[in-house]
Amino acid sequence: MPKVYPNETTTEATKIPQHIANRKVKVLTVWKKSLLFNSNGFTVFNTEGKLVFRVDNYQSGTGSKKEIVLMDGTGKCLLTIRRKRLSFADTWVVFDGETSVSPIILVKKPVNFLASKDIAHVISCQSSDGVNSLSSKNLMYEIIGSYAQRCVAVYDNKKRLVAEIQKKEARAGVTFGGDVFQLTVQPEIDQALAMTLVILMEQLFGFR
Phi, psi of 105 (to 5 degrees): -140, 165
- Is residue 18 over pLDDT 50? no
Q: CA of 61: how far to CAs of 5, 65, 86, 108, in Å? A: 27, 10, 22, 21
pLDDT for position 180: 94
Q: Which string of DSSP letters, residue by residue, matches 98-143?
A: T--SS-SEEEE--TTGGG-SEEEEEEESB-TTS-B---GGGEEEEE
pLDDT for position 192: 97
pTM of this structure: 0.81
pLDDT for position 131: 52
pLDDT tens-digit readout, 34-70: 888 767 899 999 999 999 999 987 654 444 567 899 9
The rounded distance, in Å, linking the Cα atoms of 172 and 25 is 25
**100: exposed, middle or buried (Cβ count in 10 Å: 0-12, 13-18, 19+):** exposed
Question: How many percent of the chain have pLDDT more than 90?
Answer: 52
pLDDT for position 9: 42
Phi, psi of 6 (to 5 degrees): -60, -30
User: pLDDT: is 207 or 165 the higher one?
Assistant: 165
Q: Give the pLDDT mean for 66-75.
A: 92
pLDDT tens-digit readout, 99-157: 888 899 999 988 765 567 899 999 999 765 555 555 556 899 999 999 999 999 999 99
Confidence of residue 29 (pLDDT cuts 50, 70, 90): very high
Q: Give the pLDDT mean for 75-96.
A: 87
pLDDT for position 11: 42
pLDDT for position 117: 85
- Is residue 2 over pLDDT 60? no
